[in-house]
Amino acid sequence: MRTWGWTFSIAVGLTALLTAASSAQPSATRVRHRAVPAEPVVVELFTAQGCSGCPEANARIETVAAEPGVIALTYAVDYWDYLGWADTFARPEFAQRQRDYRRALQIRNVSTPQVVIDGRRQAPASIEAIQVAIDEEAARRVFPPEVEFRETGDRVGVGSGRAPVGGAEVVAVVYTPGPQTVEISGGDNRGQKVRHVNVVRSVRVLGPWTGRPVLYALPEQAGSDQAVAVLVQARDDRRILTAAVLDAR
C-alpha cells in the first residue's frame, strides 16, 4: 500500500489509539516556481460538462494538481443538465457541498466553474490567482491535527488539536486520481472532448472531531483505481483544518 499527498507520524495519543484498535499527465501550462506548503492545501473545483466556460478551468486545475503540496478535487454538478447533456460524473451531493460553501462564504449564488481554496475562500480560475490563494492559505495553518492511515488501508486516525468553534467533522472524499476525458454529444459543449482531473466519486462524513484523537473506518473504495482524501473541516465556516490522501491501491 502506498500513500501520497501528506501523511504524518502521529502523536503518542493517536499511536496508542491505533494500537488499541489493532486488539496525470500535467498540463503544459507554465507555472512560477513556488515553495511547497508545509501543510497540504485543498483546491476544490465545481464544474459541469454542460458548462461552456468549464473546460478551460478544468485544464488550469489539472496544472495545479500536479504541484506538490496540493490536493486538487473535481466535483461535477448536475444543475446544467437541462441544457441538453446529463453530466456523467455529477451527483446531487456535490451540488449540495457547493451550496454549503455558498452559505459559509456568503456568496449570492452558486455557479460554475468555481474554485474553493481550503474551504475558506473562492478564487478566480486562473493559475496565478489560484497559486496566490494556495500560498496565502498554507500560511494560515497553525498546528493542525495530524492524520495517519493504518497500514491495512481501512482506517484513518486524526490526532489531537484545537477544535474550531462549533466543532469539526472528518470527511472522506473518494476520487479517481489523474485525468479522464469525456466526449460530449449534447448541450453547449457538443462535439468537444472535456478533460477532468481527480474526479470525485463520493463524499461521506465519517464523524465528528472535537480536538481529541479519534479513529474512523474508511469507506470501501470502488476499485483499485480509487484514492481517498480525508479532510478535517469546520462545521460552521467550512474551513479545512488539514487533509491527507490515501493513494489508489
Q: What single string gives the DSSP state of each residue in 48-111?
A: -TT-TTHHHHHHHHHHHHTSTTEEEEEEE-STTGGGT---SS--HHHHHHHHHHHHHHT-S---
Residues near 138 by beta carbon (within 8 Å), at least 6 away in sequence = 37, 38, 39, 41, 69
What's the confidence (pLDDT) of residue 143? 82
The number of folded domains in the chain is 1
Q: List C-alpha distances in Å: 194 to 45, 115, 184, 225.
A: 15, 18, 7, 20
Q: Does 212 map to a domain?
A: yes
With respect to residue 32, please indicate whether it lies within any of the assigned structural domains.
no
Residue 65 lies in domain: 3-23+38-246
Q: Is residue 172 part of a domain?
A: yes
Instruction: Give every CB contact of residue 85 below 8 A, 6+ residues apart in sequence.
Output: 49, 50, 184, 185, 186, 187, 188, 189, 190
Q: Can you read off the three cell numbers belonging to residue 57?
A: 478551468
What's the pLDDT score for residue 139? 86
* Nearest-angstrom CA–CA distance, 97 and 75: 9
Give the pLDDT score at 18.
Answer: 39
Q: Which of these, 225, 221, 222, 219, lies nearest to 205 by C-alpha position?
A: 219
Report yes or no on 33 lying in a domain: no
Closest CA to 24 of 50, 52, 59, 53: 59
Does 235 map to a domain?
yes
218 within some domain: yes
Task: Give the chain's residues under pLDDT 50.
Answer: 1-33
Tell me: the pLDDT tens digits for 81-116? 999 999 999 999 999 999 999 999 999 999 999 999
How much is the pLDDT for 198? Answer: 98
Which regions of 124-246 does DSSP assign to beta strands (E)? 147-149, 155-158, 168-183, 193-209, 214-217, 227-234, 240-246
